[in-house]
Structure 1
Amino acid sequence: MSQPTPQERHEAVSLADAAVRALQNNLDISLSRHTKESRMADIVFEQSRFDPTLSVNGQFFRTVDPLERPVFGATGGLLNQITKFDQRNHAVSVDASTPLITGGNFDVNYSPARYSASPAEGFLFNPAWTGGLSFTVTQPLLKNAGIAVSTTFIKVAQNNAVVEQHIFRDRVMTVIASVEQNYWELVFARENVKVAQAALKAAEELLATNRLKAKGGVMSIVDVLQAEAAVASRVEQVLVAEKAIRDEEDQLRTILNPGEAELRQNVRLTPVDAPITYLETLSLEEAIETAIEQRPEIVQAKKHIESSELNKQFARNQLLPTLSFQGTMGLTGLGGDYSESLMRNFSGSFYNYGAGLVFSYPLGNRAAISAYTKRQLEAKNAEISLASVRHQIILGVREAVRRVQTDFKRIETTRSARILAEKQLQTEQERLKVGLSATRFVLDFQRDLSIAQGNELRAIVDYNKSLSNLARHKATTLDRYHLEIS
Structure 2
Amino acid sequence: MRQQQSIYGARTSAIAAAVVFVSVSAFGQTGQSRASSTAPAAVQGGDTLRRLTVDDAVKIALEQNLGIQIQRVEPQIQDESVAQARAAWLPNLTSSFNKNSNTFQSTNSLSGSSPTVNNALFSGGAGINQVLPWGGSYTASWGSSHSTTTDLSRTFNPVLNSQLAANYTQPLLRNFSIDNARQSVLTAKKQRDISDVTLHATIVQTSRNVKNAYWDLVYQIDNLKAAQQSLQLAQQSLKDNTRRVEIGTMAPIDIVDAKAEVARNEEAVILAQEAIEAAQDNLKMLIFDPSTPGFWSMKIDPVDTVPFQAQKIDADAAVRNALDKRADLRQAKLSIEQSDISIRYFRNQILPDINAQVNYQATGVGGVQLQSVNIFDPAALANRQIVAERSFSTALGDVLRSSYPFWSIGFQVNYPLGTSTSKANLERAKLQYQQSQTQLKSMQMQVAAQVRSVARQVEANQKRVESARASRELAEQKLAAEEKKFAAGIRETFFVFQAQRDLATARTAEVRAISDYNKSLVDFEAVQEIAVGGGGGQITAVR
Of 284, 298, 308, the match for 1:253: 284
Unaligned runs of 5+ in 2: 1-43, 367-389, 532-543
Q: Which residue of 2 is the match for residue 334 of structure 1?
A: 365
Query: What's the CA shift for 1:417?
Result: 1.4
1:94 aligns with 2:134: no
Q: Which residue of 2 is the match for residue 152 of structure 1?
A: 183
- C-alpha distance in structure 2 between counterparts of 1:227 and 1:399, whole Å: 45
- C-alpha distance in structure 1 between counterparts of 2:236 and 2:300, whole Å: 31
Q: Which residue of 1 is the match for residue 317 of structure 2?
A: 286
Query: What's the CA shift for 1:117?
Result: 4.0
Query: What's the CA shift for 1:426?
Result: 1.9
**Alpha-carbon deviations, 1:309-347, whole Å to 9, x = none?**
110111112212322221101222234222222222111
Query: What's the CA shift for 1:223?
Result: 4.4
Q: Which moved more, 1:81-90 or 1:270-279?
A: 81-90
Q: Which moved more, 1:459-468 or 1:134-143?
A: 134-143
Query: What is the aligned length?
Result: 464
Q: Which moved more, 1:447-456 or 1:417-426?
A: 417-426
Give the alignment's TM-score, normalised by structure 1: 0.87
Query: What's the CA shift for 1:186?
Result: 1.3
Provide the secondary structure at the position in 1 that maps to 2:443: helix
**Alpha-carbon deviations, 1:161-183, whole Å to 9, x = none?**
11122122222322222222222
Provide the secondary structure at the position in 2 that maps to 1:101: coil
Provide the secondary structure at the position in 2 that maps to 1:97: strand
Counterpart of 2:53, as a letter, is S
- C-alpha distance in structure 2 between counterparts of 1:265 and 1:163, whole Å: 35
- C-alpha distance in structure 2 between counterparts of 1:88 and 1:227, whole Å: 115
Q: Which residue of 1 is the match for residue 274 of structure 2?
A: 243
Q: Which residue of 1 is the match for residue 413 of structure 2?
A: 359
Q: Which residue of 2 is the match for residue 56 of structure 1?
A: 95
Provide the secondary structure at the position in 1 that maps to 2:271: helix
Give the direction of change, closer, same or farther, for the CA distance of 1:460–1:216 in structure 2 (3 Å limit): same
- C-alpha distance in structure 2 between counterparts of 1:403 and 1:363, whole Å: 62
Query: What's the CA shift for 1:237?
Result: 1.4
1:42 aligns with 2:96: no
Residue 51 of structure 2 contacts residue 301 of structure 2 at CA under 8 Å; is this kept in 1? yes
- C-alpha distance in structure 1 between counterparts of 2:250 and 2:45, whole Å: 47
Identity %: 25
Counterpart of 2:87, as a letter, is S
Provide the secondary structure at the position in 2 that maps to 1:365: coil
Give the alignment's TM-score, normalised by structure 2: 0.79
Query: What's the CA shift for 1:21?
Result: 4.2
Give the direction of change, closer, same or farther, for the CA distance of 1:104–1:476 in structure 2 (3 Å limit): closer
- C-alpha distance in structure 2 between counterparts of 1:244 and 1:70, whole Å: 106
Counterpart of 1:267, as a letter, is M
Alignment of 1:259-298 (within 5 A): 259=290, 265-298=296-329
Unaligned runs of 5+ in 1: 72-78, 478-486
CA RMSD of aligned residues (A): 2.7
- C-alpha distance in structure 2 between counterparts of 1:191 and 1:166, whole Å: 37
- C-alpha distance in structure 1 between counterparts of 2:178 and 2:428, whole Å: 23
Q: Which moved more, 1:319-328 or 1:184-193?
A: 319-328
Q: Which moved more, 1:436-445 or 1:146-155?
A: 146-155
- C-alpha distance in structure 2 between counterparts of 1:37 and 1:205, whole Å: 64
Query: What's the CA shift for 1:26?
Result: 4.2
Q: Which residue of 1 is the match for residue 375 of structure 2?
A: none
Counterpart of 2:109, as a letter, is R
Query: What's the CA shift for 1:43?
Result: 1.1
- C-alpha distance in structure 2 between counterparts of 1:92 and 1:359, whole Å: 34
Residue 85 of structure 2 contacts residue 181 of structure 2 at CA under 8 Å; is this kept in 1? no
Alignment of 1:449-460 (within 5 A): 449-460=503-514
- C-alpha distance in structure 1 between counterparts of 2:324 and 2:256, whole Å: 64
Query: What's the CA shift for 1:454?
Result: 0.9
Residue 201 of structure 2 contacts residue 530 of structure 2 at CA under 8 Å; is this kept in 1? no
- C-alpha distance in structure 2 between counterparts of 1:467 and 1:60, whole Å: 80
- C-alpha distance in structure 2 between counterparts of 1:164 and 1:261, whole Å: 28
Provide the secondary structure at the position in 2 that maps to 1:428: helix
Alignment of 1:69-468 (within 5 A): 69-70=109-110, 81-82=113-114, 86-118=118-150, 123=155, 126-147=157-178, 150-221=181-252, 223-256=254-287, 258-259=289-290, 265-335=296-366, 336-468=390-522
**Alpha-carbon deviations, 1:146-193, whole Å to 9, x = none?**
257751221111111111221222223222222222221111111111
**Alpha-carbon deviations, 1:290-309, whole Å to 9, x = none?**
21222111111111111111
Residue 91 of structure 1 contacts residue 113 of structure 1 at CA under 8 Å; is this kept in 2? yes
